[in-house]
Structure 1
Amino acid sequence: MNSSATFQFAQSVQRLHLGTLVGQPTGGSQRGINGGAFFFLRLPHSGIEMDLPLIGTFPLTAAADAGVTPDVLVKATVGDVASDRDADMEAVMKAMFH
């Protein structure tokens, strides 16, 4: 459920120009959110478990099947992680002070 909430938050910040998003694209899809209420089901013989969304919110116009792309896209590398370099924070600092 957190993924849907953060996706919607990022989408609102960008749409309403409330801030600058920095980092990687969010998860989720702009084609709709199917969170809100779920029915959890376990099939008795196979043991397969699944959740079925009961509430969905979908746009009235065509939208991308992708998350929200930040205003400042940062592509962190394996080297960044290995060297404990915070590429996202560096991009924030650069945007603020340059």
Structure 2
Amino acid sequence: MRRDVFQAIADPNRRAIINLLSKQELNLNAVADNFEISRPAVSKHIKILTECGLVSIKQEGRERYCRAELSKLKEVAEWTNRYREFWNDKLDALGAFLEDEK
């Protein structure tokens, strides 16, 4: 199954993992220590994030280190920017209307 960035960020646990990894590279156990879900559940979330390119894993000896690949969030930012412009225009028009009503 091919996953995309939007599917990955739909889950709050995955968003929290991305946020955690955006600050530092961590091994899988260190990531799991930050959550109240099982280690297999964290591994599954990491796998999904890896499949869509939001996390990369580097093997160092017996440890696997996870790193956020934030450049992949550009797709999300571009998509939301289109709607931000739309809502800014609508809210500006509402503000102008309310000023005219005074």
Instruction: Please state which band the TM-score falls in when normalised by the shorter chain.
Output: under 0.3
Larger Rg: 2
- Could you state the TM-score of these two structures normalised by the residue count of structure 2? 0.23
- Could you state the TM-score of these two structures normalised by the residue count of structure 1? 0.24
Larger fraction in helix: 2
